[in-house]
Amino acid sequence: MRQLAFFLLIVSLWSCSAKNEDLLLRSGFTSLGNRNYDKYTTGNGIIATTGGPRTAIGFGGNHFFFTFDNFDFVTDYQGQFPGENYSIPFIASDLDSMVAWTGDDSGFRFFVSRDFFINRLLINTIDDQFTGLDFSGRYEGWEYVSFSLLNGLVAGNYVGESGARPNQIDIYAMVDGASSRITSLTPGYVAVDMFTNNSNVTWLLAHSEGNPADMYVFISEDEGFTWTEPIAVSNGGGELIQIVGLSAERMIAYGASHIYRSDNGGQTWNASGYSFLASGETVDDITYANEGIHLFAVKNKDTDDYGTISDLYRSDDLGQSWVKVNSHDFYADYVRFHSLTYGIAVSNNVLQSTVDGGTTWQVIMFPFAN
């Protein structure tokens, strides 16, 4: 009986391993990752972005890493944010300046660096000094939403307790190493995303407090000090997650089932769907390259022990039509593209890169030891 049980255990383990190995093989990966990068795969998941040709920047396993040559050489720094919640950092980067934030029981701290976090400067702390609430135990009272590298604006949602001020969107400004709440928007709305163009015009995407499918945009032309009243985007047509300005007049806002486009700076909006979706299906991530001229959408279709297996679609006409890009399965919860050729994909603790626009993918980081 013991021999039979041992045999069944071996068969079970072999079957699980074979399933995952088969997935990697049929996915056409050019490699199964670099074991020297195991240290990046020991945390809750890799967070990464790209900011230039063959360039990737990210966090994983309590390490900050970056590469300029598609991971032929990687530089990393460990424990750059000791004693802080390292599981949810945020990266904003134009490769000249980078911003990361961490949070703990005392609030949120924003750091900026011009040397890939070899040195860093604390540029802002948002805590009970500004919100009027106690953060102890959890992020009670204030939720970070978005940061703009261009003008230092931070958007967040204030959630009050009984007797406190109304739930509303707070706008903070980070200037010369200090911060303050410069305004609060009309109560009853929840911020989702924010975008600032090179002319310092800022659009803030939000939904009504009672219905996430009712989407609106607020616009500021004076670095966040004053804002328009909310302008309807979707009117119940679907929840949106990101807004991008393609020019002074052309905007897109997109979500899991719809894309909305404006050709007059956000004053009016028109909707289109994702042509590759069947009824009831949604996309799981959408991003853009070349300042929004080209869109990439991720559609999850399966999972295994290591991550989510997905397909990738591209649109060159602002979402009017889409083509499938990947020739084989690949892991992706989200993708980030610098151009039409170079991009990265991340799912849990797996990171891949592509140099051919997403047709094929190379596994860079893979949790061998986990």
pLDDT digits (tens, 9 = 90+) for 216-246: 999 999 888 899 999 999 877 778 888 888 7
Give the integer Cα–Cα distance in Å for 71 and 353: 9
pLDDT at 230: 94
User: Which of 19-28, 268-277, 342-351 has the highest average model confidence (pLDDT)?
Assistant: 342-351
Rg of the chain over Cα atoms, rounded to whole angstroms, equals: 22
Token duo for residue 182? 């410069």
pLDDT at 262: 92
Taking alpha carbons only, the member of 117, 44, 37 closest to residue 70 is 37
pLDDT at 18 over 70: no
pLDDT at 39 over 60: yes
pLDDT at 352 over 90: yes
pLDDT at 358: 95
Cβ–Cβ under 8 Å, residues 245 and 195: yes
| Long-range pairs, 203-207, Cβ under 8 A, ≥24 | 203/243, 203/245, 203/251, 203/266, 204/146, 204/155, 204/169, 204/171, 204/243, 205/233, 205/240, 205/242, 205/243, 205/253, 206/169, 206/230, 207/239, 207/240
Q: What's the whole-number mean pLDDT along residues 361-366?
A: 89
Q: What is the DSSP string of 190-218?
A: EEEEEEE-TTS-EEEEEEETTEEEEEEEE
pLDDT at 370 over 80: no
pLDDT at 99: 59
pLDDT at 2 over 60: no
Q: What's the whole-number mean pLDDT along residues 7-21?
A: 41
Give the integer Cα–Cα distance in Å for 66 and 113: 13
- Count Cβ atoms below 10 Å from residue 8 Cβ, excluding itself: 10
pLDDT digits (tens, 9 = 90+) for 102-154: 555 455 566 666 665 556 555 555 543 433 333 333 334 567 677 776 777 77
Contacts of 12 (CB under 8 A, 6+ apart): none
Give the integer Cα–Cα distance in Å for 158 and 142: 5
Give the integer Cα–Cα distance in Å for 334 and 284: 8
Residue 266 banded pLDDT, cuts 50, 70, 90 = very high
pLDDT at 64: 78
pLDDT at 244: 84
Q: What's the whole-number mean pLDDT along residues 150-162?
A: 70
The H or E element spanning position 128 is helix 128-131
Residue 319 banded pLDDT, cuts 50, 70, 90 = confident
Residue 31 banded pLDDT, cuts 50, 70, 90 = low
pLDDT at 70: 85
Give the integer Cα–Cα distance in Å for 335 and 288: 9
pLDDT at 348: 92
Instruction: List 264's β-bridge partners, or say none.
Output: none
Mean pLDDT of the chain: 75
pLDDT at 11: 37
Cβ–Cβ under 8 Å, residues 187 and 166: yes
pLDDT at 51 over 70: yes
* Residue whose tokens read 């990393």: 76
Letter for the amino acid at 323? V
Token duo for residue 289? 């390259």
* Residue whose tokens read 């990947």: 326
pLDDT at 90: 52
